[in-house]
Amino acid sequence: MGRRLNALDWIALTLLVVGGVNWGLVGLFQFDLVAEIFGGQSAMLSRIVYTLVGLSAVFVAVDAFTFEKHPAGEGFRARTAS
């Protein structure tokens, strides 16, 4: 059984979805929705969103690959929130 997601997990996943949709739009239509909403790629708010999406990706990647040994010796499982 997996662990429950906390608020930080949900925020990170939401930002990853935003980033993924934005990159999909860039790849398919050459349209950067974040830049359009916040005033261009070099606008401070756009850069903050891009940074938060990148940090979220690192957080989720580290969280996904943080494993602990299962006490019953049945292999590995994702760590649980303490």
The domain limits of the chain are 7-78
Q: Using one digit for the tens of pLDDT, what is the confidence trace for 24-60?
A: 999 999 999 999 999 999 999 999 999 999 999 999 9
User: What is the DSSP secondary structure assignment for residue 33, as one 8-state letter?
Assistant: H
pLDDT bin (cut points 50, 70, 90) of residue 74 is low
Q: What count of other Cβ atoms lies within 10 Å of the Cβ of residue 6? A: 10
pLDDT band at 13 (very low <50, low <70, confident <90, very high): very high
Return the pLDDT at 46. Answer: 96
Phi, psi of 76 (to 5 degrees): -115, 155
Residue 69 to residue 1: CA distance in whole angstroms: 14
18: nearest Cα among 53, 46, 43, 60? 53
Q: What is the mean pLDDT of the chain?
A: 85
**70: number of Cβ within 10 Å:** 10
